[in-house]
Structure 1
Amino acid sequence: MDLLQGKSGIPKKILLRVNKITKENVDQYVQTKQNTLDEPKKLKKHIVLGFVQVGKESSWRAANSSSIKKAAQDFDIDLKFKNANQSIDNQIEAIRNFIKERVDVIAFSPVVQTGYEEVLKEAKRAGIPVILTDRELDFNDDSLWLTSIGSDFQEEGRRAARWLLGFTKGVKKDINIVELQGTQGSSPAVYRKKGFEELLKNNTNYHIIASQSADFTKEAGKRVMKEMLERYGDKIQVVYSHNDDMALGAIEAIEEAGKRPGKDILIISVDATKEAFNALFSGKLNLTVECNPLLGPELMKVILDYQEGKEIPVKIVTKEGIFSQDNAKREFINRAY
């Protein structure tokens, strides 16, 4: 119990895998809670959740928003949903409004890793627990949030690099990589980059020759890739994109430049959306690392557990895989996003 409550002296961020989301345990919990909701009232009051979404930057985000909205209905939680449109100022304003409204719980996916200290202190003083979803924060006082739910972004970067090293094993010549980063300062951009570089650093023939933010959008991915092609041309052998939408934009830019994505230039991305699977099937994408957006049921589970006085893991990590042209067809039928 001391470990979970952070009383052991071990930083919360070391305890990364306290619990994992799997389809089986979420389905079981949904059924259990539905049975509970059908019984006479056991909770003291109806729960009001204030949720602030990052924006609408990608198909992944749309699936994430839909999951949260549906899960709130399924768990009979009153959801107040706000969209920050990629603005930290909008998020902070929405959180402050939720504090004034005295919601029971606040949850949000931070635009970037810093800048929220003061508003979270306000929530703490008001006695309102805060839950992070998808993305994380990076400042000293991690008592300002109850838990975080989402992916291990650094491991996603490692998985991308691990596949590249295996796929190009035996190649002696230099391999030049261009990187399409997500929103600058966001936790997925920071840690997907860090994990990727971590595995490549001891392999001297792999070079990231350009790295630039394309803000997780298809349009910016296409624009930035076009600029990189104009500058580096045939020197580019690999594109590493921090999400599928940017990769899909890059694919369009590569085709317009007269090159074959997936063949002349290897394309690696993160998210594993249906659009990425279609690109795998057509041979234009080589790999997508899964990042599960369906966090709604686990978020509602944590809220109900907290209201019932149960211990809450400090970090809940989603169960995810990787998909290449070799195994994509087996998984596509199961895709919910």
Structure 2
Amino acid sequence: MKKTIISTLLGSTLALSSGAAFAKDDIKIAVLMYGMKAEFVQLMQQAAYDHPLVKSGEVKITMYDGRYDALVQNNQAETAIRTNHDAIIINPMDFDANIDVVDMANDAGIPVIVTNARLNTDQMTAEVVSDDVEGGYLEAKFIMEQIGCKGNVVILEGPKGGSGEIQRGQGNEKAIAECPEGAVKVLERKTANWSRAEGMTLMENWLMKHQGKISGVIGQNDEMALGAIEAIEGTGDSVDNYVIAGIDGVTDALHAVKSDKMTSILQDANGQMQGSIDVALRHIIGEQYKPTSKVWQQYADQLNWNNGLSKRYDIPWTVVNQQNVDKLLEVRK
């Protein structure tokens, strides 16, 4: 049946390239998000619905909330396959446990695109991600430069076992290792599960335990870094006494950058999701499909469409600073 669907779509590819309409339910893509609470994931969700062919009704998106449980995501993949979706896009919760989604999709002959986070396999159709090692390096490098490569830092980690925690941690360590040996000490590192509330609680405990000794706070995402800021301000201390960095470029973090409270390494939710949809459509429809999202023009000098056949697409990071933060905030309005 899948071959019949693809064959039919190949015969009507001009419907996409010319903008002519075709039946709403011709193409169905399942999007498996690890959870829907965080703003960054919500930005990805909105980006999916804003894709030109989704907005026009020519492509239907089914959005699944994985509820921060790898097993739930695996079960949702089974549902997507059983209900004849033409492709699966997964933002995986777990680096290893969600490999099952790739295996199931491959067995069913369905393209599977991994986005945002990574999986410990190369058997997916493609990945549309940002290099988390680089992201972790950029945020930690900023802190190392600001503290002059001397002092003590704490690291708020992502959920254990997720690719973000693993690879951003590798980037953090790489930046710290560029300082003279022993010049920078990591006083604490513990997961706050991407949560602002958990980040605040951890930071409150560390502030009490290491009074006056913490120079820098590395948050492997913005939410945890923002929680650390709340903890610092809650004690009556000033964030001016700390160098704080996070990753994602969520709206509150952009405002915090504007207020000189932290820096953020913006991860492009729109680029990752809309790029994933374009790659999925290329593998559903065939070589006649031309990408319709703007991501390929936005990063034309860094991102090569390659006829939709690359195994991995890296969406570039943007370091948020005083020069670009207003423009980035304007986009969120």
TM-score, normalised to structure 1, is: 0.81
| Distance in 2 of aligned mates of 1:212 and 1:282 | 27
Where do 1:167-182 residues align within 5 Å? 167-169=146-148, 174-182=150-158
Q: Does 1:300 align with 2:281?
A: no
What residue in structure 2 maps to residue 315 of structure 1?
Answer: 312
| Distance in 1 of aligned mates of 2:126 and 2:45 | 19
Where do 1:101-116 residues align within 5 Å? 101-116=83-98
In structure 2, which of residues 186, 191, 198 is the aligned counterpart of residue 208 of structure 1? 186
What residue in structure 2 maps to residue 95 of structure 1?
Answer: 77
Q: Which runs of 5+ in 1 are unaligned?
A: 1-32
What residue in structure 2 maps to residue 13 of structure 1?
Answer: none
Q: Decide whether aligned partners of structure 1 residues 254 and 123 sit closer, same or farther in structure 2, where only a CA change above 3 A counts.
A: same
Paired residues, number? 295
* CA displacement 1:26-82 (0-9 Å, x = unmatched): xxxxxxx997363365x9x81111111111242111111111123233472111111
Secondary structure of residue in 1 paired with 2:97 = coil
> Given that residues 143 and 243 in structure 2 are in contact (C-alpha distance below 8 angstroms), is that contact kept between their aligned partners in structure 1?
no
Q: Decide whether aligned partners of structure 1 residues 75 and 187 sit closer, same or farther in structure 2, where only a CA change above 3 A counts.
A: farther
| Distance in 1 of aligned mates of 2:225 and 2:167 | 18
The residue type equivalent to 1:136 in the other structure is R
| Distance in 2 of aligned mates of 1:53 and 1:329 | 27
| Distance in 2 of aligned mates of 1:34 and 1:209 | 59
| Distance in 1 of aligned mates of 2:15 and 2:141 | 41
The residue type equivalent to 1:77 in the other structure is V
What residue in structure 2 maps to residue 4 of structure 1?
Answer: none
In structure 1, which of residues 132, 150, 155 is the aligned counterpart of residue 114 of structure 2? 132
Q: How far off is 1:202 after superposition? A: 3.7
Q: Does 1:252 align with 2:230?
A: yes
| Distance in 1 of aligned mates of 2:60 and 2:213 | 53
> Given that residues 277 and 328 in structure 1 are in contact (C-alpha distance below 8 angstroms), is that contact kept between their aligned partners in structure 2?
no
| Distance in 2 of aligned mates of 1:34 and 1:250 | 51
In structure 2, which of residues 207, 212, 228 is the aligned counterpart of residue 234 of structure 1? 212
What residue in structure 1 maps to residue 244 of structure 2?
Answer: 267
The residue type equivalent to 1:321 in the other structure is T
Secondary structure of residue in 1 paired with 2:211 = helix
The residue type equivalent to 1:208 in the other structure is V
What residue in structure 2 maps to residue 185 of structure 1?
Answer: 161
Q: Decide whether aligned partners of structure 1 residues 75 and 34 sit closer, same or farther in structure 2, where only a CA change above 3 A counts.
A: farther
What residue in structure 1 maps to residue 323 of structure 2?
Answer: 327
Q: How far off is 1:197 after superposition? A: 0.7
Secondary structure of residue in 1 paired with 2:186 = strand
Counting aligned pairs with the same residue, the percent is 21
Q: Which runs of 5+ in 2 are unaligned?
A: 1-13, 288-307
What residue in structure 1 maps to residue 6 of structure 2?
Answer: none
| Distance in 2 of aligned mates of 1:69 and 1:255 | 37
| Distance in 1 of aligned mates of 2:15 and 2:326 | 31
What residue in structure 2 maps to residue 7 of structure 1?
Answer: none
Q: How far off is 1:280 after superposition? A: 1.7
The residue type equivalent to 2:283 in the other structure is Y
Q: How far off is 1:307 after superposition? A: 2.3
Q: How far off is 1:102 after superposition? A: 2.1
The residue type equivalent to 1:91 in the other structure is Q
* CA displacement 1:102-158 (0-9 Å, x = unmatched): 21111111101001334432221211111101111014xx22x10011211110111
The residue type equivalent to 1:237 in the other structure is S
The residue type equivalent to 2:83 in the other structure is E
Tell me how large the CA RMSD over aligned residues is: 2.3
Q: How far off is 1:166 after superposition? A: 2.7
Secondary structure of residue in 1 paired with 2:256 = helix
Q: How far off is 1:335 after superposition? A: 3.3
| Distance in 2 of aligned mates of 1:230 and 1:165 | 23
Higher relative contact order (CA 8 A, sep 6+): 1
Q: Decide whether aligned partners of structure 1 residues 119 and 259 sit closer, same or farther in structure 2, where only a CA change above 3 A counts.
A: same
Secondary structure of residue in 1 paired with 2:203 = helix
| Distance in 2 of aligned mates of 1:303 and 1:297 | 10
| Distance in 2 of aligned mates of 1:253 and 1:238 | 14
In structure 2, which of residues 89, 105, 109 is the aligned counterpart of residue 123 of structure 1? 105
Consecutive aligned runs of 4 or more in structure 1 exceeding 3 Å deviation = 328-337
Q: How far off is 1:83 after superposition? A: 0.2
TM-score, normalised to structure 2, is: 0.82
The residue type equivalent to 1:90 in the other structure is V
